[in-house]
Amino acid sequence: MSDDPARAGGAVSGLSQLGGESALPSSPDEATLETAANPHPDALYLARFTAPEFTSLCPVTGQPDFAHLVIDYAPKERIVESKSFKLFLGSFRNHGAFHEDCTVMIAKRIVAAAAPRWLRIAGYWYPRGGIPIDVFHQTGPAPDGLWVPEPGVQPYRGRG
C-alpha cells in the first residue's frame, strides 16, 4: 500500500476505476468517464488520445466497424482519466451506431465530463463497402497560442 494519502486501497481518491479491477461497460451509456484535477490549470497545453483500434458495430447489419481516432483537447480545470477513457471506448465494441454518431458522441462525453478549453476529434473510419468515412468535430477555434499538431493519420488511399 502506498504512503500517499491520495491513494487508498490501491485506488486513487475520487476515482473509482484507476488502481483496481474494472469490468468493460456493456454500452457507452453505462460507461463512466472520470476526470481528475488538472495539475497545471494555468497552462495552455494540448493533450492527445490516439485510439488506432477503435471498434463499434453497424447499427443496421451488426457488422464490425473500425476506426483510428485522434482526440486533442486543451484542459481547463479537469483532465480525462485515461483508464476510464479506455473502458469508455471499449464499451462501443458491442454498440450499434453510425460513424458520425460514435465520433461526435465521444467528443460530447469528453466535453460534458471535463469541460475543456477546446476539443477536436478526428475519426478515420476504415472502409466497408468500399467507402471510408472520416468524421471531424471540434468545439470551436483553437485558443490563441495553442500548438495544435496535425492528426498524423493519412487519408485512405486504397490499393493505388
Candidate list 42, 58, 72, 102, residue with the active-site label: 58
Which grid coordinates are listed for 106? Answer: 465521444
Candidate list 29, 65, 102, 134, residue with the active-site label: 65
* Residue located via cell numbers 473510419: 125
Q: Nearest-CA neighbor of 15 among 61, 83, 77?
A: 83
Which grid coordinates are listed for 64? Answer: 464490425
Q: Which residues contact 109 (CB under 8 A, 6 or more apart)?
A: 28, 33, 88
Q: For residue 102, indicate whether it is catalytic.
A: no
Q: Nearest-CA neighbor of 130 among 156, 152, 155?
A: 156
What is the set of active-site residues?
58, 65
